[in-house]
């Protein structure tokens, strides 16, 4: 059964409200630190494994020049390294350094502790159910976005 228009509109509102809340928490938690929110996002994706810079930019939804600046900042801090892609000399591969892996681990531990504190009145079941629902929503949106980009969905006006 399709989602009703009012429900979809409320869901859009709730998603944007959640984004704002998360952004406020993230911004407050990195104030005065060496790695800002944007760089932490890049670090997280690089932490998933060595990847082409162009793929990282695509996944992060940023332009190649913006990502290049972020990577340069992380490289300067010793958190990532770049190397030429052996399969395509024009492309670069980006990977975490041991220092970058440690930094990412620290960031994730800190974020986990902050969230645990904010959710101290939640039950484990509520948190688990929310995580499951958010995962389902994320996968649906990613699948739909990929299909739209590939031209395999029809839009009605």
> What confidence tens digit (pLDDT) does each residue in 100-118 have?
999 999 888 888 888 899 9
Angle 131-98-103 from CA coordinates, rounded to 5°? 50
Q: In the 8-state DSSP scheme, what is residue 80?
A: E
SS3 18: helix
pLDDT (0 to 100) of residue 155: 46
DSSP-assigned beta bridge partners for residue 108: none
Average pLDDT, the chain: 86
Residue 11 is predicted with a pLDDT of 94
What is the C-alpha separation between 47 and 96, in angstroms, rounded? 6
- Using 50, 70 and 90 to split pLDDT, how confident is the model at 33? low
pLDDT of residue 35 exceeding 90: no
- Do you know the residue count of the chain? 157
Is 82 in contact with 93 (CB distance < 8 Å)? yes
If 0-12 CB within 10 Å is exposed, 13-18 middle and 19+ buried, where does residue 150 land?
A: exposed
Regarding pTM above 0.85, the answer is no
CATH label, 35-138, candidates 1.10.10.10, 3.20.20.70, 1.10.3720.10, 3.40.47.10: 1.10.10.10
Domain ranges of the chain: 35-138
């Amino acid at each position: 059964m399709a989602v009703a228009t009012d429900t979809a509109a409320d869901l859009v509102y709730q998603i944007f409200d959640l984004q704002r809340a998360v952004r406020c928490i993230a911004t407050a938690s990195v104030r005065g630190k060496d790695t800002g929110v944007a760089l932490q996002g890049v670090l997280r994706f690089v932490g998933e494994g060595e990847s082409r810079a162009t793929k990282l930019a695509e996944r992060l939804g940023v332009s190649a020049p913006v990502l290049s600046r972020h990577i340069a900042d992380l490289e300067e801090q010793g958190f990532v390294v770049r190397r030429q892609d052996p399969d395509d000399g024009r492309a670069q591969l980006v990977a975490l350094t041991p220092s970058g892996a440690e930094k990412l681990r620290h960031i994730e531990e800190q974020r986990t502790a902050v969230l645990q504190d904010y959710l101290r009145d939640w039950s484990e079941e509520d948190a688990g159910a929310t995580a499951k629902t958010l995962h389902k929503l994320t996968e649906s949106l990613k699948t739909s976005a990929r299909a739209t980009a590939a031209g395999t969905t029809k839009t009605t006006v």
